[in-house]
Amino acid sequence: MLKGRHLIKPSDFSVSEIDEICSLAEQIIVDPTSFQDVCRGKILATLFFEPSTRTRLSFEAAMLHLGGAVEGFSDAANSSTSKGESLADTIRTVSSYVDVIAMRNPKEGAALVASRYAECPVINAGDGGHFHPTQTLTDMLTIRALKGGFEGHTIGFCGDLKFGRTVHSLTEAMSRYKNNKFIFISPKELAVPEYITEYLDSVGVPYTTAERLESVIGDVDILYMTRVQKERFFNEQDYIRLKDSYILDRQKMTLAAKNMIVLHPLPRVNEISPEVDDDPRAAYFKQVKYGMYVRMALIAKLVGAL
């Protein structure tokens, strides 16, 4: 039973619960009109202390498509935190008005703090470089739709693996399924954190590392590209030096398998050339639509509408 639960990290939900959410999302995709009133009378708060386009708008669209209402802010400057109010007090206040909160915050662990003071479910919409579990659900729904399931995949993560919260979340989630393995492709400065590799070692999930995309692209079933995130760098010179480390173009795509898919949490800068967009293996804009559907399923479950 998911009603009233918080979603702070992917492991908060069991494998069977993730399957339940994805199955509901698939039902919504097939017949969205059957779900257009299930959240009537419910309110979602979107508290975004950090910029967002897809995540915030997809949450808001999801609730509106379910017949519910939305309130919140897209800029911390428009909230009382700009006056010095603590996160705990903000959450205590907002959760007394609404039925569910989706929150993005640049500080790692902020969502966990929020869940301790909230009177309603809290959904982590990204906390710094830590976790982004609803993007993980989006990625998993896309994988299930396009690859048929969650098992037996070689997943290549490319780009900023140090600060990439979507990478950390999806690695943790997909490691729970059988016969998956990972290839981490990055410069040394942006390598996946040790806590991720230590976790994979502890559960016996195989992984390798590489510094050249061309050397491994032919081995992957799913290529997950990421943006080098300027906002995560303290030193702008380091960002400038690393920002163009990996660019996926048509030439590199010729080295990939015919049934490989390319995912990206977006936004992109120049790590995927626009010439790749027309390739049938490019699935990142399909992810955008799947993101709304999976958030519809999640919200409906957490507020007890379904």
Read off the pLDDT of residues 252-296 as tens digits, 9 standing for 90 and up. Answer: 999 999 999 999 998 888 899 999 999 999 999 999 999 999 999
Average pLDDT, the chain: 92
Give the model confidence (pLDDT) of 20-30 as tens digits: 999 999 999 99
* Cα–Cα dist 176/157, whole Å: 17
Using DSSP's 3-state secondary structure scheme, residue 106 falls into coil
Model confidence over 107-166: pLDDT tens digits?
989 999 999 999 999 999 988 767 889 999 999 999 999 999 999 999 999 988 988 888
Q: Which helix (H) or strand (E) holds 18?
A: helix 15-30
Q: What is the pLDDT of residues 169-215, one digit of tens each?
A: 899 999 999 999 999 998 888 899 999 999 999 999 999 999 889 99
**Domains along the chain?**
10-131+290-302 (3.40.50.1370), 133-287 (3.40.50.1370)
Q: In sequence order, what E strands does the chain have?
A: 43-48, 69-73, 100-105, 122-127, 154-158, 181-185, 207-210, 222-225, 261-263
Report how far apart, in Å, the C-alpha atoms of 100 and of each of 179, 223, 285, 292 are: 36, 33, 27, 16
What is the gyration radius of the CA atoms in the chain, in angstroms? 19
Residues whose CB is less than 8 angstroms from the CB of residue 144 and which lie 6 or more positions away in sequence, other chains included:
22, 150
Residues in the chain: 306
Which tens digits make up the pLDDT trace of 34-87?
999 999 999 999 999 988 889 999 999 999 999 999 999 987 776 777 678 899
Q: Is the dihedral of CA 143, 148, 150, 151 positive or negative?
A: negative
DSSP helix, strand, coil percent of the chain (3-state; round to 5) = 45, 15, 40
Cβ-contact 29, 297 below 8 angstroms: no
